[in-house]
Every structure is written in structure tokens, then in C-alpha cells.
Amino acid sequence: MLYKLYMKKNNWILYLFENDKHSELFKIMEFKTIKDVAFVLDIDACIISNWFHGLIHPRGILKNCVLHQSVVI
């Protein structure tokens, strides 16, 4: 059980903007997993993961979002 004390914990920070130009911030949300982000945005987790890694262009609500991964040690 000691290994759990030393494991990195990831949080996902989602910035949701009013428009796709990212000029006005609407809301900031924090999630534990990509699946949680996918549930709130009603998008498949694979699409969010591919978008985060730059494999696909943003589509739909993702045009109004910025996603960051924060590592808490």
C-alpha cells in the first residue's frame, strides 16, 4: 500500500469559454478522469483524448474548450 503514497495523481482542468475565440471565460471545472470530462460534455472519451493529444481538430463544444492536465505530487 505504500506505493499509492508515491504515485502521481492527475487532475484535468477544463476551461469552457463563451465562444470559439476564447475571449470570455464561462467556467472552470476540475475532473479526476477523462471519462468524467466526457460525461459532462456528452462526448466519447476517445474523442476527448484524441483532441487533447492533437490527433484530431476540435469539433462541436470542444471548439469552446481548453483542457490541461495538472499533476499533483
Residue-wise pLDDT for 5-53, tens only, equals 555 678 999 999 999 899 999 999 999 999 999 999 999 999 999 999 9
| Fold exhibited by the domain 8-72 | Arc Repressor Mutant, subunit A (1.10.10)
What DSSP element (H or E) covers 12?
strand 9-17
pTM: 0.81
38: left (phi over 0), alpha (psi -120 to 50) or beta: alpha
Number of Cβ within 10 Å of residue 65's Cβ equals 22
Closest CA to 12 of 56, 58, 71: 71
- In degrees to the nearest 10, what's the CA dihedral of 21, 23, 25, 29? 40
